[in-house]
Amino acid sequence: MVDKVSDTHYNLVSDLYKLKKDFAFKREELQALYLENKGLNKKIDALEKENHSFKQQIKQLEKEAEEMLLYP
- 5: confidence class by pLDDT, cuts 50, 70, 90: confident
**pLDDT tens figures, 21-52:** 999 999 999 999 999 999 999 999 999 999 99
Q: Backbone phi, then psi, for 67, in 5-degree steps?
A: -65, -35
**Letter for the amino acid at 60?**
Q
| DSSP class of 72 | -
Q: What share of the chain is helix, strand, coil (3-state, %, to 5)?
A: 95, 0, 5
Enumerate long-range contacts of 47-53, CB under 8 Å, 24 or more apart: none
Return d(Cα 19, Cα 27) in angstroms, integer.
12
pTM: 0.67
